[in-house]
A and B are shown apart, each in its own frame.
Chain A
Amino acid sequence: MAAHRLQVENLSFAYGETAVLRGVSFTVRPGAVTTLMGANACGKTTLLLVMTKNLKPDAGRVLLDGRDIAALRLRDFARRAAVVHQKNTAPDDLSVEQLVFYGRTPYGSPFRGRSAEDETRVALAMAATGITDIARQPMGTLSGGQRQRAFIAMALAQDTKLLFLDEPTTFLDIRYQVETLRLIRALNAERGITILMVLHDINQAALYSDEVIALKDGAVLTQGPPREVITEETVFAVYGVRLPVRADGERIWVLPA
């Protein structure tokens, strides 16, 4: 399966009278890790929700392999793209494995049991996220990092070549933030999954993305590899604060002081 082509064309969205997206257009590079960045309330999460059929755009469209996702049924979309949302809940007594099996929902029916394919995909997803040894543990006993990996595993079990993540590091300690971001990079490198995520932290965006899309006032300010895009000017334009940008070989980061 080749990587999906994902395009956003002139998207607009408003919550009531408040316009959040005003004509957003971009193309996601197939096979890359792309991060949406921007200040609070700039429309990052809203954009992700529109792109995942959680919200209907007022204007414009989202094209997946050239087809408007509005024309795709939820179930068909779920077989092509998986989403890890920022807020996740699960019953405390649900086992990790049971949760990951929910990822097979787009392929199953409530009236049939698990197929061999389901078992294989779930085993692979748990192995890829390193949670095989805690498969039987109840969700209520997991650490924040383990929880996040369990939900990523559920998304992987959907067996898609496209993965959306909304602020996957927000509620985690730094150790688990790094763990999660490394996992995301590994999934991209080893399984060729195209990744589009929203990150709050500008340095995480700079260090873990192939491409960065900076949003400002509900539109795309700039798009490109972090080294080209993340400059003092862009940071000022997006966040409204002047910060020094440092480079070290291929890596680039912003000093938050």
Chain B
Amino acid sequence: MKTTGRQLLTGALVCAALAGLTALLFFAALKIGSISVTWTQLWRGLFVAYDARVAAIHDLRFPRVIIALLAGGMLAVSGLFLQSALKNPLADPGIIGIAGGAAFTAAVVAAFFPMLYFSKPIFAFIGGILAFLLIYRLAWKGSLDPVRVILVGVAVSAVFAGLSAALFGMSSSGGVSPPVSGLSQRSWSDVRQLAVYAAGGLPAALLLAPACNLLTLEDRTVRGLGVNADLLRGLVSAAAVLLVSAATAIIGVVGFLALITPHMARRLVGSDHRILTPCCILLGAFILLAADTLGRVLAAPAEISAAVLMNVLGGPFFIILLQRGQRVGRS
């Protein structure tokens, strides 16, 4: 299973470049915004001496930047793993309703059991798994047809979006407002909550990466190699659902990021998941932070949410993929 030296080198270089770019973006994202500071001020305020402006940035901007990085990485890997598990290049946890299921159960917990606030991601996971099983069950006809998965997924997604809307409708009379979603007004406690799942989920994803390579072969071939393909698919799917659910519990549904990032990463480093997975984490982190920062700058002082930006940019991308898929299907 060795990757040839050149592929490995390219992969390492791309990852290093992405890490560098993300680091640059990280500092830019901290600096850009309504509270303006100079680079030196930012540096001194963070690492040397107390500065009131920098302290405000530390409390307000820092958490959202970190959350964008973590959630971006988690969503991207989740998309990669779903695409691999379902053998479906169009799979996106946002489009097929897994994120919707997670967001719904998270909202139920937030509305009715606020004391369980800190286990919100666990309940989101239950919703995500529910949605996933529903899609799997409904789309399964001896095998999983990619387009069928998408169609069933869109329906599941609509159901959960409707349920969430109904929940807010009901609960608003009781004085419960929809939970804050998106990346604005995030606090350090949100960071801690998400970091726990990122710390568990991302390393687990890296460990599963070699196994994802096997899923690129036919199921029968995988079994012939002594590996239970169904079990493997279950594990990879569970990891994907956990990652997207935890991220969704904190920032709400963000579509298309999980779809686009793996495709871009494959272009950059090829299809070996041992390189593709870390590349996806970095690229996803970069893209979501870039979208969030752009959203803060474009219409300042108003904000365009990262989820909206991702929809605007991701929608056309999805259409291109659909058309390309049809062409392949016909030939």
Interface residues, chain A, with chain B CB atoms under 8 Å away: 49, 52-54, 73-79, 82-83, 85, 87-95, 97-98, 101-106, 108, 110, 113-114, 136, 151, 155, 158
* A91 and B271 contact, Cβ closer than 8 Å, known pairs A53-B223, A83-B224: yes
Interface-forming stretch among B1-9, B52-60, B92-100, B283-291? B1-9
Asked if B218 is an interface residue, CB under 8 A from chain A, the answer is: yes
Kindly list 5 other residue pairs between chains A and B, CB separation below 8 angstroms, not including A85-B224, A101-B1: A52-B223, A54-B220, A74-B228, A83-B221, A105-B214
- Chain B residues with Cβ under 8 A from A74's Cβ? 223, 226-228
Q: How far is the CA of A83 from the CA of B221 in the complex (A)?
A: 7
Interface residues, chain B, with chain A CB atoms under 8 Å away: 1-4, 207, 210-211, 214, 216-218, 220-221, 223-228, 270-272
Q: How far is the CA of A158 from the CA of B221 in the complex (A)?
A: 12
Smallest CB–CB gap between A125 and chain B, Å?
14
* A102 and B223 contact, Cβ closer than 8 Å, known pairs A93-B271, A110-B210: no
Q: Is the CB of A110 within 8 A of B225?
A: no
Q: Is the CB of B221 within 8 A of A94?
A: no
- Chain A residues with Cβ under 8 A from B210's Cβ? 110
A–B pairs, 18, beta carbons within 8 Å: A49-B220, A77-B226, A78-B225, A79-B226, A83-B224, A85-B224, A90-B216, A91-B216, A93-B271, A97-B2, A97-B4, A98-B2, A101-B1, A102-B214, A102-B217, A103-B225, A105-B227, A106-B226
- Chain B residues with Cβ under 8 A from A76's Cβ? 226
For B2, give its contact among A78, A101, A105, A155 (CB under 8 Å): A101
Residue of B4, B207, B210, B224 most packed against chain A (CB within 10 A):
B224
Smallest CB–CB gap between B235 and chain A, Å?
12
Closest chain B residue to A95 by CB distance? B4
- Chain A residues with Cβ under 8 A from B217's Cβ? 88-90, 102
Residue of B1, B214, B271, B272 most packed against chain A (CB within 10 A):
B1
